[in-house]
């Protein structure tokens, strides 16, 4: 029953903003020829020759993404305090230690509280972790009944009695299939998660809530949209993880699904402390190329979810060719750190082929920096992951995070983190 409910909720999350969607283009033959910017060529036409050049070029690309796509993430000079809300050493039938930690993120006299749920395998050494947001609160990701209901903003959902954006008992365990915590713990990884609404509500709220309360903002055309807020939030969690003596802060893998996959990529580009980045079905303005017009159209985003981006981004609606960047450069900015992109065969809205092509076109930057980029030029068959410093798979099925996806992520993390330990 829970699994059916979670599937229905997933559909609602996906389609809540898709109600009157422009169906978009689903015909390869109708894609007009497009030119991608070369990440290894500066805006003035000169070429990247040295690693130092790349750092400069990377800044140039980052500025364009900040000012034209996601919005500028403001610098952070505040402080973070924590309180332990609960601790259990025999969680998950004794497999893990579980902690709920409240972060009090303070900027002067302003404060934002966010609640982390942390599962760690028993180990005498520091452990690597997967860090990712959840959609409806920490209580949704596990069937353990004693997790604190998220106090933060959640999407209203009549079927689950969620009104006024407050989580309910009915939402417990709804997303367990998206978070196979026992498997992850058994593989030696910890899990750190939090509700994305704790950082910033996913709403048209004129940027008045969540993290925006911490800053005295004047909203302008380059101000941060919600994806930047959520990326900022992952960095604040990282600030805390660096102080946790049980966690190997040099091996924090971030992952996210869909809008949170877009967020994971942008967070990975924005904060070099994230050792590995995973995009699950992130689609348009995530891993998929924007200039390749297939699947979700920008005019849909402009109508339904403009607040995910900065206001400047609106000017590219229907004028994708004018965008000074494309999403392969978002991946390239994560180089030389490993990045994994996952698509789903039936998730045409997210343009699986466009996600794949971003990996292909980010590869030259990885090759330039570490010799090993993306190992294939043609799309692999379904359920055949490919691993280089960039990894990719397209699996059978729909827009979702499945145990299969997680197996691939853990294999990819093993592949890179073990090499790093040698
Ligand atoms: C909508 C949106 C996508 C997004 C998805 C999600 O479908 O159009 O861009 O990835 O929601 O986050 O679930």
Taking the centre of ligand 1 as the mean of its atom positions, its distance from the CA of residue 351, in whole angstroms, is: 12
User: For ligand 1, is residue 258 a contact (CB within 6 Å)?
Assistant: yes
pLDDT digits (tens, 9 = 90+) for 383-416: 999 999 999 999 999 999 999 999 999 999 999 9
Residue tagged active-site, from 228, 258, 358, 363: 258
pLDDT digits (tens, 9 = 90+) for 244-257: 999 999 999 999 99
User: For ligand 1, is residue 155 a contact (CB within 6 Å)?
Assistant: no
> Residue 15's pLDDT is what?
47
Percentage of the chain lying above the pLDDT 90 cut: 91
Catalytic-residue membership of 258: yes
User: For ligand 1, is residue 17 a contact (CB within 6 Å)?
Assistant: yes
> Residue 1's pLDDT is what?
53
Structure confidence at residue 217 as a pLDDT band (50, 70, 90): confident
Catalytic-residue membership of 6: no
Over residues 205-226, mean pLDDT: 95
pLDDT digits (tens, 9 = 90+) for 280-316: 999 999 999 999 999 999 999 999 999 999 999 999 9
Over residues 28-39, mean pLDDT: 97
> Residue 220's pLDDT is what?
97
> Residue 158's pLDDT is what?
84
Q: What is the mean pLDDT of the chain?
A: 94
> Residue 2's pLDDT is what?
53
Q: Which two tokens stand for residue 344?
A: 């789903």
User: For ligand 1, is residue 31 a contact (CB within 6 Å)?
Assistant: no
> Residue 149's pLDDT is what?
96
pLDDT digits (tens, 9 = 90+) for 141-197: 999 999 999 999 999 988 778 889 999 999 999 999 999 999 999 999 999 999 999
User: For ligand 1, is residue 172 a contact (CB within 6 Å)?
Assistant: no
Taking the centre of ligand 1 as the mean of its atom positions, its distance from the CA of residue 262, in whole angstroms, is: 9
> Residue 160's pLDDT is what?
76
Residue nearest to atom 7 of ligand 1 (CA): 14
46 pLDDT exceeds 90?
A: yes
> Residue 370's pLDDT is what?
95
> Residue 159's pLDDT is what?
77
Ligand 1 nearest-atom number relative to CA 304: 8
Task: Determine which of 37-41, 46-50, 213-217 has the lowest per-residue pLDDT on average.
Answer: 213-217
136 pLDDT exceeds 90?
A: yes
pLDDT digits (tens, 9 = 90+) for 222-236: 999 999 999 999 999
> Residue 3's pLDDT is what?
52
4 pLDDT exceeds 60?
A: no
Over residues 105-127, mean pLDDT: 97
User: For ligand 1, is residue 297 a contact (CB within 6 Å)?
Assistant: no
Mutate to test the pocket of ligand 1, among 349, 352, 355 (most ligand atoms within 8 A of CB): 349
6 pLDDT exceeds 60?
A: no
User: For ligand 1, is residue 283 a contact (CB within 6 Å)?
Assistant: yes
Residue tagged active-site, from 212, 257, 393, 399: 399
16 pLDDT exceeds 60?
A: no
């Amino acid at each position: 029953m829970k699994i059916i409910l979670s599937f229905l909720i997933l559909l609602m999350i996906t389609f809540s903003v898709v109600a009157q969607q422009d169906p978009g283009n689903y015909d390869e033959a109708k894609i007009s020829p497009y030119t991608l910017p070369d990440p290894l060529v500066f805006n003035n036409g000169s070429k990247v020759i040295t690693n130092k050049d790349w750092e400069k070029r990377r800044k140039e690309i980052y500025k364009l993404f900040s000012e034209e796509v996601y919005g500028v993430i403001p610098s952070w000079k505040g402080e973070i305090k924590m309180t332990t809300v609960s601790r259990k050493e025999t969680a998950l039938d004794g497999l893990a230690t579980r902690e709920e930690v409240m972060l009090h993120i303070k900027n002067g006299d302003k404060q934002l509280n966010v609640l982390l749920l942390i599962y760690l395998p028993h180990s005498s050494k520091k452990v690597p972790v997967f860090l990712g947001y959840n959609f409806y609160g920490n209580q949704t990701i596990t069937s353990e009944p004693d997790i604190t209901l998220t106090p933060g903003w959640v999407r209203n959902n009549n079927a689950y009695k969620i009104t006024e954006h407050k989580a309910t008992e009915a939402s417990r365990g709804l997303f367990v299939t998206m978070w196979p915590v026992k498997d992850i713990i058994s593989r030696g990884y910890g899990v750190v998660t939090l509700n994305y609404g704790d950082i910033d509500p996913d709403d048209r709220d004129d940027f008045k809530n969540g993290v925006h309360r911490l800053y005295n903002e004047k909203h302008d055309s380059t101000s941060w949209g919600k994806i930047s807020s959520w990326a900022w939030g992952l960095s604040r969690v990282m600030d805390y993880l660096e102080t946790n003596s049980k966690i190997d802060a040099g091996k924090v893998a971030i992952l996210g699904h869909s809008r949170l996959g877009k967020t994971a990529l942008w967070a990975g580009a924005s904060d070099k402390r994230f050792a590995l980045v995973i995009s699950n079905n992130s689609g348009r303005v995530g891993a998929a190329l924007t200039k390749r017009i297939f699947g979700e159209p920008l005019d849909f985003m402009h109508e339904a979810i403009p607040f995910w981006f900065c206001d400047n981004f609106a000017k590219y609606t229907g004028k994708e060719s004018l965008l000074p960047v494309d999403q392969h450069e978002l991946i390239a900015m994560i180089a030389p750190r490993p990045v994994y992109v996952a698509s789903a065969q039936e998730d045409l809205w997210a343009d699986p082929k466009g996600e794949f092509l971003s990996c292909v076109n980010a590869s030259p930057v990885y090759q330039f920096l570490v010799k090993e980029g993306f190992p294939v030029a043609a799309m692999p068959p379904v359920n055949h992951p490919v691993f280089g410093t960039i990894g990719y798979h397209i699996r059978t099925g729909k827009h979702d995070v499945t145990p299969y996806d997680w197996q691939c992520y853990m294999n990819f993390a093993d592949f890179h983190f073990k090499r790093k330990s040698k």
